[in-house]
Homo-oligomer: A and B are copies of this chain.
Amino acid sequence: MIKALAFDVFGTVVDWRTSIAREAAAVFAKIGREDIDPARFADAWRGLYQPAMEECRSGRRPYTRLDLLNRETLDTLVERFDIAADEATLADLALAWRRLDPWPDSVAGLTRLKTRFPIVTLSNGNVALMLALARHGGLPWDAIMGAEATGIYKPLPQAYLGTADILGIAPNELCLVAAHHSDLAAARACGLATAYVDRPMELGGAPKPDHAAEQVWDYTAASLTELADRLGC
């Protein structure tokens, strides 16, 4: 039944929090601001992610690439934390989202899953960001789909339905793989198959904010290699 696997990326395939905190810490050391907790900074940055996309989802703003939203939300944090850094440093830090490290099982899991299924991204990251991330971490995607390909941000239905349409398959032939119940719930409402991958350390061990959206998913695994086991890859 499943003809392709589409992956949420931030949190599901890559560990954004550890990577962003590491890059922020390097900047804070450079500018003598070791008083700022880099993990708290990473969480604050991620906290501005949904509101920034909501501007586009609501129609108040046309689709705008995540690279630019990340720069805008960084500027908000620069003000909030009173950070004094030069433009080159901030421009580079904004692109830290292109340099997130994969979870330890991601490359091995994707490589096995790819032997049987086309594997594509279904992320809110734009193409240039996803491409850089793939080259940074060695993620062997068959194609980069999702927000920029469909011109719309998850969890709006067209992000899921448009990705299936571009792949030339029916929604129920596409399986979303994600560590977030809310993402999977939106995909299921569009008719997609669903695979949950548990990433308990995405928020450093703190509980995820989307418990209420939990359902019994078509597949559940503790890693992408375990998902490969489940799918017979």
The chain A residues found within 8 Å of chain B, CB to CB, are 67, 118, 120, 126-128, 130-131, 134-135, 141-145, 148-149, 166-169
Asked if A167 contacts B135 (CB within 8 A), the reply is no
A127 partner, pick from B131, B141, B166, beta carbons under 8 A: B166
* Copies of the protein in its oligomer: 2
Asked if B127 contacts A143 (CB within 8 A), the reply is yes
Asked if A134 contacts B142 (CB within 8 A), the reply is yes
On whether A127 and B67 interact (CB within 8 A), knowing A135-B142, A143-B143, the answer reads no
Q: Could you say which residues of chain B place their CB within 8 Å of the CB of A128? A: 166-169
The minimal Cβ–Cβ distance linking A123 to chain B, given in whole angstroms, is 13
Q: Could you say which residues of chain B place their CB within 8 Å of the CB of A135? A: 118, 142
User: What's the Cα separation between A131 and B148 when bound, in Å?
Assistant: 17
Q: Could you say which residues of chain B place their CB within 8 Å of the CB of A141? A: 143
The minimal Cβ–Cβ distance linking A177 to chain B, given in whole angstroms, is 17
Interface hub of A134, A145, A166 (most chain B Cβ within 10 A): A166
Q: Could you say which residues of chain B place their CB within 8 Å of the CB of A127? A: 143, 145, 149, 166-167
Asked if B134 contacts A168 (CB within 8 A), the reply is no
On whether A143 and B131 interact (CB within 8 A), knowing A67-B168, A149-B149, A168-B67, the answer reads yes
The minimal Cβ–Cβ distance linking A120 to chain B, given in whole angstroms, is 8
Q: Which residue of B lies closest to A65 (CB)?
A: B168
